[in-house]
Structure 1
Amino acid sequence: MRIDESLTLADLAPALSRFWQLSGDKIDLMLREYDLAQGSPVFTQAGKYSTRGWTEWTEGFYYGSAFLQFDATGEQRFADEARKLTVERMASHVSHIGVHDHGFNNLSTYGNWLRLQREGKLPADQIDFCELAVKISGAVQASRWSPTHDGGGYIYSFNGPHSLFVDTIRSCRIVMVAHAMGHSLMGENDESNSLLERALQHIEATARYSVFYGEGRDSYDEWGRTAHESVFNPNDGRFRCPNSQQGYSGFTTWTRGLAWAMVGFPEQLEFLDTLSDAELEPFGGKAKWRELMLKGARATCDWFIANTPTDGIPYWDGGAPGLVNLGDWRERESEPFNAHEPIDSSAAAIGAQGLIRLGRYLGADTADGRRYIQAGLTSFRTLLTDTYLGIAPDHQGLLLHSIYHRPNNWDYTPEGQSIPCGEACMWGDYHLRELALYVDRLRQDQPEYTFFGCLKS
């Protein structure tokens, strides 16, 4: 990508003001038109949200978007809807033992609600309710546990105990928050399992097996490449091979999986700094974890910068076979209406937040820090343009040109096009709002938006 070194937070103010108006219009449209009896809204087809019964991992993004909208604009009706729908519909997600998505669904709803109460923006009358939901969700998430042969382990995906998804680093957020609330996972004979230890071990497994560093692991090892899925022998916990469910292959980089790691590592670095040295000493000490997470964050963010079109919006997979037909696509702006391979704007919305967080963690006054911040702002600026925003008033989606599952051909291809384009997804809409709120708070010198903002100050 071509990083704009001159772009400032103030430069984005007019686009952000327009964005929040459009965002509110889309939430209102969904509340009027979408029938929740269909199931969770997942992605749009011809501009209307539809469901896909794989797992219900997107419902929390719908209600969580209304919490974010209230946070940004102060419009009470959005908070009222978010609270009502969270109470009515999210309980099953708290106790859901079959998914690896607790940090997505439940921090987006109960976590945001709790944070807004802590910040004094909503009445502090449901703190115990939200805390209990987060505690249980964190423990249920940590219970999906597969040990590795070296004494570590990971939270396994919905594919089963053999499967580590790179996505799940972002579900570690709720495990960490539950730990910080003093909770643990109780097992047989009242054995208490540390949620901090499980989250750290999962992050370590992700860094070791899901991220590549150009150190010769296989013939396609390069700095920052990620595998969507890492496969283990469940009998002895030994790593077997990289794989992919939603990318092109285990040896190419599915860019949304990359983006989850890009934001997951920097967020955990921020949380790490809230923990005492004594708390981390039994697990090897703070320096060990900082080095591991920082290496993963740098590598994935560097890969994104090196393998994304000039405007900061990636194609859905860096090794997608049709990219050869696009020539030197890294040296041009993204082309969502090309004839060969789709863009995934949701990967940009997720990854841009990771770039900015990493840059701020390293320091805006450092060369590396500024490089990552400016890369994130460059991507964000493109996402705020008419090319990527769903400006048509009857289109229910906010962020256009996202991809769900290209190998399964689930995404909608409009008439006259040869690839999916022009559609939105619930995680893309949510994470664009989350990115906008994060940047808006920075721009206005407000307290930084973090996943652990729901904890007591």
Structure 2
Amino acid sequence: MEPENDLQPSDLEGDLDRLNDLSGNKILAIDKEYDESKGSPVFTVEGKYTTRGWTEWTQGFVHGSAILQFDATEDERFLELGRRKTVKAMAPHLTHFGVHDHGFNNVSTYGNLLRLQREGRVPADEWETNFYELALKCSGAVQAKRWTKRKEGGYIHSFNGPHSLFVDTVRSCRSLCVAHSLGHSLMDESDEAVSLLGRALAHARSTATHNVYYGESRDSHDVLGRVTHEAVFNVADGTFRCPNSQQGFSAFTTWTRGLAWAMTGFAEQLEYLATLDDFALDPFGGRPEVTGFMEKVARATCDFYLENSAVDGIPYWDTGAPALCKLGEDYLSRPADPFNSHEPVDSSAAAIACQGLIRFGHYLQKQGDRESGQRYFQAGMTILRTLLNEPYISTDSSHQGLLLHSVYHHPNGWDHVPKGQKVPCGESSMWGDYHLREAALLVQRLARNEPYLTFFGCLPA
């Protein structure tokens, strides 16, 4: 892709205002029209949100979107909606031992509400604060309990079982980090206190080692920055067995939403670690070692994304999708075409990735690497501007989605193919909508010189 080097956050304020108007109406429409008895809304079919059972991993994005909408607009209706639905619906997610997505569900709801209190945006009632803190402590410990131990550390295993390490789970590490910084730990057998920070870092190391490639001849498809969705282990002795992919084309190609999860997950971990004292990291290898491997991952994955996305920053759903060759040799030199007849784009991957690029760029600039930091930051800004405009932003009031051309599970054929089209297009996903709102809020705050948006903004100053 080609970043626009002069694009500033303030240049997007008009687009951000339009997004906020569209977003609010769509949140209210979903709240009014969607039948919650069917399960959490996941993606749209012909413009209406529907569910698709794997787990209830999108419910936090539904109610978290209302909270972000209040944050962006100060419209009290959305604060009330987000609070009420968090209390009503989110408790089961706090003690859900069967999933790897606590960072999605609980930090997006309880975490955002607590952050608004810390920022003085809403009254800081003591018992409400205690309620949010207790929820986040429980969530972090429960997530950390879903652990596969290895000689080299271990990992939070996916809902597939103890053999399975998903790349997306790195973004649930923030749940452990928040709980750790609130003074919590996991109490295990014989009253052993397990460090939540330690488990977050061990999981990040496992992901960096086994889900990300560095061009070091690990296998015949080892390309710098490539990501595999799933790493598979022998749980009897903990040895790594093979890469795999649940939602991508293959184990040896890169599912771009998985790539985006790695980009943003490691970037926000670096931002969080920068707030800790050195002694907090000493038991886990020390700051140079910890930040070193995370910066290596973030740089490799961000570079791979930039090299394998279209000129406007939008990726196709998998970098090795079999029909990409039919788009022509120069398909990455043109804006992505969501209406092509061969392979779908995935705008949700772009919405997640643009935040990772902005965050990593911001982090590097604060660390003194202004040249690299500016490059990544401008790339993220360029992607966001693409997403805030047609054909990606949904301006149709009858369409409940906000971000068009998102893909969920192309290999399973779950995504809707409109009449007259040959590949999925024109639909939205709850994670795509949420992450567009989150990235937009991040940039809106930068444009207005407001506090920088982080997941750990919910922690005491």
Could you state the TM-score of these two structures normalised by the residue count of structure 1?
0.99
Shift of 1:386: 1.8
C-alpha offsets along residues 204-232 of structure 1, whole Å, 9 cap, x if unaligned? 00111111010110101111000000000
Misfit runs of 4+, over 4 Å: none
Taking the aligned partners of 1:208 and 1:128, their CA distance within structure 2 comes to 37
Residue 369 in structure 1 maps to residue 373 in structure 2? yes
Residue 70 in structure 1 maps to residue 70 in structure 2? yes
The answer for the alignment partner of 2:438 in structure 1 is 434
Shift of 1:114: 0.6
Shift of 1:6: 1.9
C-alpha offsets along residues 319-347 of structure 1, whole Å, 9 cap, x if unaligned? 00010111121111000000000000000
The answer for the alignment partner of 2:460 in structure 1 is 456
Residue 57 in structure 1 maps to residue 61 in structure 2? no
The answer for the alignment partner of 1:145 in structure 2 is 147
What amino acid does structure 2 have at the position aligned with 1:146? T
Which of residues 415, 419, 422 is equivalent to 1:418?
A: 422
Taking the aligned partners of 1:282 and 1:16, their CA distance within structure 2 comes to 43
Shift of 1:8: 1.5
The answer for the alignment partner of 1:238 in structure 2 is 239
The answer for the alignment partner of 1:175 in structure 2 is 176
The answer for the alignment partner of 1:80 in structure 2 is 80
The answer for the alignment partner of 1:32 in structure 2 is 32
Partner secondary structure for residue 363 of structure 1: helix
C-alpha offsets along residues 228-280 of structure 1, whole Å, 9 cap, x if unaligned? 00000000000011000000011000000000010011100011111111111
Partner secondary structure for residue 240 of structure 1: strand
Taking the aligned partners of 2:31 and 2:282, their CA distance within structure 1 comes to 48
Structural mapping, 1:328-367, within 5 Å:
328-363=330-365, 366-367=370-371
What amino acid does structure 2 have at the position aligned with 1:388? Y
Taking the aligned partners of 1:275 and 1:236, their CA distance within structure 2 comes to 34
Partner secondary structure for residue 49 of structure 1: strand
Shift of 1:138: 0.4
Residue 386 in structure 1 maps to residue 390 in structure 2? yes
C-alpha offsets along residues 341-389 of structure 1, whole Å, 9 cap, x if unaligned? 0000000000000001111111177211111011101100100012001
What amino acid does structure 2 have at the position aligned with 1:106? N
Taking the aligned partners of 1:69 and 1:166, their CA distance within structure 2 comes to 28
Taking the aligned partners of 2:38 and 2:389, their CA distance within structure 1 comes to 31
Q: Greater CA deviation, 355-364 or 15-24?
A: 355-364
Taking the aligned partners of 2:16 and 2:189, their CA distance within structure 1 comes to 51
C-alpha offsets along residues 279-325 of structure 1, whole Å, 9 cap, x if unaligned? 11111101111101000000000000000000001000000001011
Gaps of 5+ in 1: none
What amino acid does structure 2 have at the position aligned with 1:262? M
Q: Greater CA deviation, 323-332 or 425-434?
A: 323-332
Taking the aligned partners of 2:9 and 2:139, their CA distance within structure 1 comes to 35
Shift of 1:435: 0.1
Taking the aligned partners of 2:49 and 2:95, their CA distance within structure 1 comes to 26
Partner secondary structure for residue 241 of structure 1: strand
Taking the aligned partners of 1:206 and 1:70, their CA distance within structure 2 comes to 34
The answer for the alignment partner of 1:90 in structure 2 is 90
Structural mapping, 1:11-410, within 5 Å:
11-125=11-125, 126-150=128-152, 152-327=153-328, 328-363=330-365, 366-410=370-414
Partner secondary structure for residue 372 of structure 1: helix
Partner secondary structure for residue 67 of structure 1: helix
Partner secondary structure for residue 148 of structure 2: strand
Taking the aligned partners of 2:33 and 2:2, their CA distance within structure 1 comes to 40
Shift of 1:149: 3.2
State how many pairs are aligned: 456
Shift of 1:390: 1.1
Taking the aligned partners of 1:329 and 1:232, their CA distance within structure 2 comes to 36
What amino acid does structure 2 have at the position aligned with 1:417? Q
Shift of 1:10: 1.7
Shift of 1:29: 1.1
Taking the aligned partners of 2:378 and 2:335, their CA distance within structure 1 comes to 17
Taking the aligned partners of 1:62 and 1:123, their CA distance within structure 2 comes to 23
Partner secondary structure for residue 336 of structure 1: coil
Taking the aligned partners of 2:139 and 2:162, their CA distance within structure 1 comes to 19
Could you state the TM-score of these two structures normalised by the residue count of structure 2?
0.98
What amino acid does structure 2 have at the position aligned with 1:113? L
Taking the aligned partners of 1:386 and 1:351, their CA distance within structure 2 comes to 19
C-alpha offsets along residues 53-88 of structure 1, whole Å, 9 cap, x if unaligned? 110000000000000000010000000000000000
Taking the aligned partners of 1:309 and 1:257, their CA distance within structure 2 comes to 17
Kindly, what percent of the aligned residue pairs are identical?
62
What amino acid does structure 2 have at the position aligned with 1:78? F
Partner secondary structure for residue 300 of structure 1: helix
What amino acid does structure 2 have at the position aligned with 1:59? Q
